[in-house]
Amino acid sequence: MSQSENFPRSGARGRRAVAGAAVLAGALTLAAVAAGAPAGGHEMAHPNAVANVSATGAHVPFPAKLPPLRQGSLVKVHLVLKDIEVEIAPGVKYLAWGFAGGAPGPVIHVRQGQKVQLTLTNNGMIPHSVDFHAARIAPNVAFKDVDPGKSITYTFTAGDAGVFMYHCGTKPVLAHIANGMYGAIVVEPSQPLPKADREYVLVSSEWYLNGDGTKEPATLSMAKARAVQPDWVTWNGYAGQYVKAPLTADPGDIVRFWVVDAGPSLDTAFHIVGTILNRAWVNADMSQYQRNVQTVLVPAGGGAVFDVKIDEPGLYPFVSHSFASVDLGLVGLLNVGNVGGTMSH
Ligand SMILES: [Cu+2]
């Protein structure tokens, strides 16, 4: 079933989306949409109002590349929460709650043993909080609600290596995560991992919309969220963004994926089409890895790390092999060797 059957759309985008449904429906559909007509009236009328849309109306992909390690024994992180409008799929707008101006929030990259001093400033309209899965800390103290206009600061030691979710923990948590309040923190092991040539961070999540989000931005449908009936499922907050702008590698590179499933409710069955995962640090237990596995579960609220070495140039989709999620947007491409075309060609 295509997106359009759930959410009728007007104009060329909708027709192209219908035409694109096939094997790897999400990839094909979204590639077709991405290559389609220029953005419509809504985007052009408000080019600067949408957090991840440029002045020319183009979607700006979330940077998947792992940012540099933060230096120093104490890493200060300041998240300023704002109510924002984001694009979550081509032509689809959503009123989100964003840690630091986006959904997901920024990727934080530290080394095991560093201290993290976290400050959350709530510039939103209602109370929020921030729960770091990388922390061993009393949640009733550190993760408590922060009223609008207020801040909270707490410090924890990143003592456990892995890749961890952070998220708002304010009730109902389902609503706060579904509204975009999540992100990833990468804690590199103190003992270095095998060398990687490229490193990417992927956060999967679902979006539950009260409308199609094309004429006016959608907001949360709590009924759909409770029923786990998402309209979109995304890598890094936007359906199919790495189909349009693939991640890249050279043949023979070791490519490392740090993956978090933010949910709020669906798991991710991580799989890369056309290859086998050379190393899989399952559940982000960095003390051991499995070798040469096809698909690994990343549960909602969990993480995992994958190394893959691809020798043959080509376009390799990374998906949840739970294919309803692919059809709703959870697909990206790794372009190995700078080959041309897309999966739709
Ligand atoms: Cu919140």
pTM above threshold 0.85: yes
What pairs with residue 270 in β-bridges?
A: 296, 320
DSSP state of 173: H
Residue type, 299: P
User: 309 alpha carbon to ligand 1 midpoint, in Å?
Assistant: 38
Task: Please list, residue by residue across 230-246, b when 16 or more beta carbons sit within 10 angstroms of its beta carbon and e when fewer do.
Answer: bbbbbbbbbbbbbbbbb
Which residue in 16, 11, 59, 22 sits closest to 327, CA to CA?
A: 22
pLDDT tens track for 104-150: 999 999 999 999 999 999 999 999 999 999 999 999 999 999 999 99
Max CA separation in the chain (angstroms)? 54
User: 172 alpha carbon to ligand 1 midpoint, in Å?
Assistant: 9
pLDDT tens track for 58-113: 999 999 999 999 999 999 999 999 999 999 999 999 999 999 989 999 999 999 99
Q: Is the pLDDT of residue 217 over 90?
A: yes
Cα distances (angstroms) measured from residue 323 to each of 102, 326, 327, 329: 26, 5, 6, 10
pLDDT tens track for 15-36: 333 333 333 443 433 333 333 3
pLDDT tens track for 257-313: 999 999 999 999 999 999 999 999 999 999 999 999 999 999 999 999 999 999 999
Residues, Cβ < 5 Å to ion ligand 1? 128, 168, 170, 176, 181
Q: Return the minimum-mean-pLDDT range out of 2-6, 179-183, 237-241.
A: 2-6
User: 133 alpha carbon to ligand 1 midpoint, in Å?
Assistant: 16
Cα separation, 167 vs 247, in Å, equals 25
Q: What is the mean pLDDT of residues 329-337?
A: 98
Q: All domains of the chain, ordered by start, with CATH?
A: 74-188 (2.60.40.420), 197-336 (2.60.40.420)
User: 126 alpha carbon to ligand 1 midpoint, in Å?
Assistant: 8
